[in-house]
Each structure stands twice: as structure tokens, then as C-alpha cells.
Structure 1
Amino acid sequence: MKMKKGGKWQQCLLALSILALIFLLVEIAVSIAATQHGDAPVRVEHVTAGPYRFTVSLYDDPARAGFALPFTIVPQGPVHGTLRYQVTSVPVGTLLPENKVKMEGNRLATLVRDSVSADPQVPGGVQGAAEITVQGLWKLHVLVDGPAGQQAFDVAVTATTLPPIPIWSGWLIGFIPVYGIVVFLLAQMKHKGQRAPLPASRV
């Protein structure tokens, strides 16, 4: 049994739609994975801030600009009382008005208050995701408030960008919706052209 031409166009349109859906799902998966830390940290820093001692674990090093940087902060030694943390992603450079910072290479970035939540596996520890928006040198500024008073410390972070995709590949991916629309319109035109003419009415 021969397949109609219209059926081939519809199959082409379906294939393009599936390709676009796969690309979208991959992008979503990469974004979600970037905010989740794995089993083993990539970099571990031991920090002393006044009477407090902490282990800071980073799950990406260098960080990827435009993606969240997962981290954990774990107190060393027994914790007597409650520890409260405030973490801010601070770009390194010249401070400008409105919390903007001019970084090396004339890149502009802003200070970002990061989200933290209690780590269910570690008493007194927290886990979070630092927002690193621009390529360059950053630091995580951690403010700790506990029974022994308030202390602060910094953890240096370097952010890099992902390798650029080839220009031809970017154009090919970006025009997937256009390809689908063109195929759809051509299929509709062929379908209309193949319609049988209505019989002439008899007088």
C-alpha cells in the first residue's frame, strides 16, 4: 500500500516536533541538574571564623556562570545552640551604586542573596545554591549567627562559561520552530491542491 504524499509531510512535521521536544527536555534536565549536588563534593574548604569552624563543600569547581552552584556548610565539633546562616554571592571588582559591581573585563554583576535550607543529615548544617551570574572572580560571603556571637567568612569562587556551540549548530537548533511551520504550511497547501473539484450542478 502506497503512502500518500500528505502522510510524508505529516511524518516530517512529527519528526521535527519530536526533535524540538527532546531539545527542550535536555535543556530542562541540565538546568535542574545544575542546582542539585552530587554525592561527592568537587572542592572542600576548611574555614575558621572566630570560635566557629566549618567545612564548606562546593559541588562545581570552577562554577558555571549562569547556573546555580550547589554547596553545603557543615560545622565542625559539637553545636551548642542554633546556627543561622546568610550567604551572599559577591562579584569581585569595583562597587558601584545599587549593589552593582564592575568586574574585570568591564562585566557588570550584582550581589545576590542565596537561598539556604537546613541539611537533614547534618545537625547545624545547611545546603544551598549560590547564584553565579557572570564569568569571573566571585566569593561566597557567609554570615553566621550563633550562641558564640556573629562571625563572617568568605570562600573564593571562579566562574567560567560553557564552551560555545558552533554557529551552524546554533542556527540549526534555533530555527527548529520555523522548519515546523514551513512543513506544516506546505502540507496544508498540498492537501488543498489534492482536493477533488466539486461536481458541476445540473440545471
Structure 2
Amino acid sequence: MRKATQVFLLLFAIGALFATGVAFYRIVLAATIHGAPVRFVDTKAGVYPLKVAFYADPINAGDVIPFAIASTSAQGKLHYTVTATPGSGVLGSLTQSDINDQQSTPYGTPGSITFVTRGDWTMHIAVTGPSGQGQADIPIVAASPSVIPAWLAWNIGLLPLYGLLIFWGAQIVRKRNAQMTTPGAVTFLR
């Protein structure tokens, strides 16, 4: 009976660890390791057609949201200024983004912005280039951050791994003690 319980708990822990690994891949690694945006928005800033790539969806209030802006037509070197304005009823102030015109990704010029409170926001993009200036607005909804902190959620999700490691360590100690207490037992190194 005891051995059957141990086998059942081991199989349960392995299954839970596999489910945690799948969730980890889907939530975190799919967007960060591959570097692929999760949402694209097409807009037009004057004469400049733009594609804005967001690396987070949903957008959580208080998080730094990475994005990339690219012109969908070859118009030469463009300079971007991005701000975010809170909608009516949203307690917040104008937010300035961080854009690095010197870098480029496969999805355009990288930048990041933080929507400080939850609610409706308008992301305002100002473009300056060889054909003059253009402006575009993208409506954004910043959601409330998750109730449980990420560090706590990961530790809860990794409990099966911790359990397996403790189980494995206990089995090694038990086996070693059993070999030492057996009189006349010959031990072989494997």
C-alpha cells in the first residue's frame, strides 16, 4: 500500500510539473524567447502608414509595455515621439515613452511606455520625416494587474518540482541509511 501511494504521488507530481511547464511556455517564453509581438495595430500618421507591435496583451496598468513602431512604406529615416493621455474619468497624467531611434528590431523602432493607472488611454504618436509631420492616436485599455504577484504565482506553480526534489532527496538518504545499517551488506558503487 505504501509503495502504491508513493508511485501515485510521483505520477501526480510529474503530471503537475508537466502542466506547469506548458503554462510557463505559453505565458512567458512564447513572447519573450522568440521575441515576437503578441498584437499589431495598423494606423496612419499623416502620410506615414504605421504598424505598431505590442509585446504585451492585455496591457496591465503599472507595467512597462514594450512596443515597436515601423513605417509600412519606405519613407526614409523617421523620428517618433510617443505619449499617452488618460481618458475621461481616469486619474492619471500624461505619460512620455522611451524610444530608441538608434536601434532597430525586425518589427521597427523599439520603445516602451507605462500606463500608470487602469482605464482608457490614448497613445499619441507623432512622426517627423522627409514628408513632414504626422500624428496618429491609438486607443488603449490598461487592465488591472493580476491579484497575485508573479513571484508568488511561480512559486505555487513550481510546488510539484519542489516536491519531486524533496522526494528524490529523501529516497537517496533512506537508501543510504538502509545500506549502512544492514550488517555484512556489500555496497557497490554505481
Fold shared per TM-score above 0.5: yes
Report the 3-state secondary structure (helix = DSSP H, G, I; strand = E; otherwise coil) of the residue aligned with 1:154.
Answer: strand
Residues 86 and 146 of structure 1, relative CA distance in 2, 3 Å threshold: same
Q: Distance in 1 between matches of 2:33 and 2:144?
A: 19
Deviation at 1:38, TM superposition (A): 5.9
1:78 to 74, 87, 91: 74
Number of aligned residue pairs: give it: 119
| Pairing 1:176-195 to 2, within 5 Å after superposition | none
Q: Distance in 2 between matches of 1:71 and 1:38?
A: 15
Contact kept? 2:75, 2:130, Cα under 8 Å? no
Deviation at 1:113, TM superposition (A): 1.0
Match of 2:40 in 1: 44
- CA distances 1:71-95 after superposition (whole Å, capped 9, x unpaired): 1001112123x311110021111xx
The answer to whether structure 1 residue 89 and structure 2 residue 73 are counterparts is no
Q: Please, what TM-score do these two structures have when normalized by structure 2?
A: 0.56
The answer to whether structure 1 residue 153 and structure 2 residue 153 are counterparts is no
Match of 1:135 in 2: 118
Deviation at 1:109, TM superposition (A): 0.4
Match of 1:164 in 2: 147
Contact kept? 2:104, 2:110, Cα under 8 Å? no
Q: Distance in 1 between matches of 2:34 and 2:113?
A: 15
Deviation at 1:138, TM superposition (A): 0.9
- CA distances 1:2-53 after superposition (whole Å, capped 9, x unpaired): xxxxxxxxxxxxxxxxxxxxxxxxxxxxxxx9xx796221110111222111
Residues 160 and 121 of structure 1, relative CA distance in 2, 3 Å threshold: closer
Contact kept? 2:45, 2:125, Cα under 8 Å? no
Contact kept? 1:56, 1:72, Cα under 8 Å? yes
Percent identity reads: 31
Q: Distance in 1 between matches of 2:126 and 2:33?
A: 22
Match of 1:58 in 2: 54
- CA distances 1:125-158 after superposition (whole Å, capped 9, x unpaired): 4111111100111121000011111110011111
Report the 3-state secondary structure (helix = DSSP H, G, I; strand = E; otherwise coil) of the residue aligned with 2:138.
Answer: strand
The answer to whether structure 1 residue 120 and structure 2 residue 115 are counterparts is no
Letter aligned with residue 104 of structure 2: P
Contact kept? 1:63, 1:69, Cα under 8 Å? yes
| Pairing 1:20-39 to 2, within 5 Å after superposition | 39=35
Deviation at 1:162, TM superposition (A): 2.2
Flag structure 1 segments of 5+ consecutive residues without an equivalent: 1-32, 94-101, 170-203
